Homo-oligomer: A and B are copies of this chain.
Amino acid sequence: MAMRIVVDAMGSDTAPVPEVAGVVEGAKDFDGEVILVGDEALLQKELEQHPKRSNVRVVHASEAISMHDAPVNAVRQKKDSSLLVGLRLVKEGEADAFVSAGNTGAVMVGALTVLGKIKGVNRPAICQALPNATGRVTILDLGANASCTAHMLCEFAEMGMAYSQYMLGVEHPRVGLLNIGEEESKGHQVAKDVHRSLSAMQHVNFIGNVEPKAVFQGGADVVVCDGFIGNLFLKTSEAAAGFLGKLVREKFESSNMNKLGAVLARKALQELKATVDPNESHGAPLLGVNGVVLILHGSCNQNAVCNAIAGARHALDNRLNQHIGEFIQELRKFEASQEEGAASSEVSAEPDVTAGEGI
C-alpha cells in the first residue's frame, strides 16, 4: 500500500504557510499521499496559492496547540488539536508517519500517549543528524529527557546506532559519550556508569568520551548525552555558527572587494549556509515511539517540511523502527547476561513531562 504521511499544519511560528508550501513541494514526485491536518478553511485557502496536487489531502482539526501551552495539559485538553488528530491517524493505521513543527514537549507527550513506545524502550529521545567535517553525526537526546539514568543513555546508544546504520548507511557506527574531556574519569557518576556498560557490550562499537571538537571533526558516528546537555550543545552550536556567520557577512560587506569577488563570495556563503542549515536536514526524529515522528524547528521554512517528508519516506523505506526494536533487544540480552535485570525496572515508564525542549 502506498505511504501516507501526516503533516501537522498548525505547528510552526508562521503556520500554516511553511507547512502548506512544504507539503505541496514534498508531494511532487511522491507516489504516496500527504495529509495536512489543521483548520480546513484556512488550509484550503492557503492551498490555492500553490499548484494543485492530487495526492495532498486536508483533514480538519478544530484546535491548535501553541508554543506557550503546557505540554501535558494541552494534550489532555485539546483532543481535537491538529497534533492529536494527526497522531491518531497514525495510530489507527490511516497514515504511516507524522511531522510537526509545533510545541516539542506536546509532540513528545502526545506521541507517547497516542502511539506508545516500541517494545523494550523506556524513554524516547530526540535525535538529529548534524553536519560535520566528514558527513553527519547522529546525536541524541536533544531535549526529551532533562536528566537521564545510565540505562536510558544505553538505550539512546542503541537507537542512535539503528539510525546511523539504516538512515545514514554507516556500517559499524562508532558510539561516543559527549563529555568535556576524553578521560574516563570525567563527568558525573551517570557518565561513568554508561562508560562501563557500553564498554562491556560487544555489539556496540564504543569509543569512549568525545569532546565537542571531535563531534564536529567526525570522531564519532553516534553521540549520546542527556537531554539538557544535548539541547545546550545544539543551541550553543547554532548560536556560535550564527554569530560567526554574521561576522563573516559583515566583514565581506565592509571589505573593499571588487564587484565580481563580492558576488562570488556571496554565492559561496549561500552554498555554505545550505550545508549547516537545519532546514536542509531530514528533521529530528523522536526515536523510540511506536511510529515515525519527526520534529521541526518552530521557525522552520517550507524546505524543512519538504525535507522532513523525504526523511519520513526514508525511515519507512528502511524500516527504522523495526531495527530500533531489534537493537533494543540486543541491549536486553546484554542486561540479562549481566544479571542486572533490576536496572530496567528502576526507570519510570512515565514521560518526563517537565522536559521536551524546543529544538
Contacts and interface: CB of A to CB of B under 8 A. Distances in A.
Contacts of A350: none
A213 B233 contact: no
Interface stretch (A166-174, A194-202, A240-248): A240-248
A349 to B, nearest CB: 22
Interface string A269-280: 101100110000
A255 interface: yes
Question: Of residues A211, A212, A215, which shows the largest number of chain B Cβ atoms within 10 Å of its Cβ?
Answer: A212
Nearest to A243: B216
A133 B246 contact: yes
A142 to B, nearest CB: 10
Nearest to A354: B185
Assembly stoichiometry (copies):
2
A148 B212 CA distance: 22
A247 B275 contact: yes
Interface stretch (A28-36, A256-264, A324-332): A256-264
A158 interface: no
Main SS class of interface, A: helix
B358 A181 contact: yes
A236 interface: yes
A238 B240 CA distance: 8
Nearest to A245: B244
Interface residues of A, number: 56
Contacts of A264: 255-258, 261
A229 interface: yes
Interface in A204-237: 211-213, 215-217, 228-229, 231-233, 235-237
B180 A232 contact: yes
A181 B231 CA distance: 10
A272 B235 CA distance: 22
A241 B212 CA distance: 11
A343 interface: no
Contacts of A132: 243
Interface in A299-344: none
Contacts of A267: 255
Contact of A265 (B265, B276, B357): B265
A248 B261 contact: no
A147 interface: yes
Given A244-B245, A244-B272, A252-B268, 6 more contacts: A143-B180, A212-B238, A215-B239, A233-B236, A241-B244, A257-B268
25 contacts: A146-B187, A180-B231, A180-B357, A181-B358, A187-B228, A212-B235, A212-B236, A212-B238, A212-B239, A216-B239, A232-B236, A237-B239, A241-B243, A241-B244, A244-B272, A244-B276, A247-B276, A248-B268, A251-B271, A255-B264, A255-B268, A257-B268, A258-B261, A258-B264, A261-B265
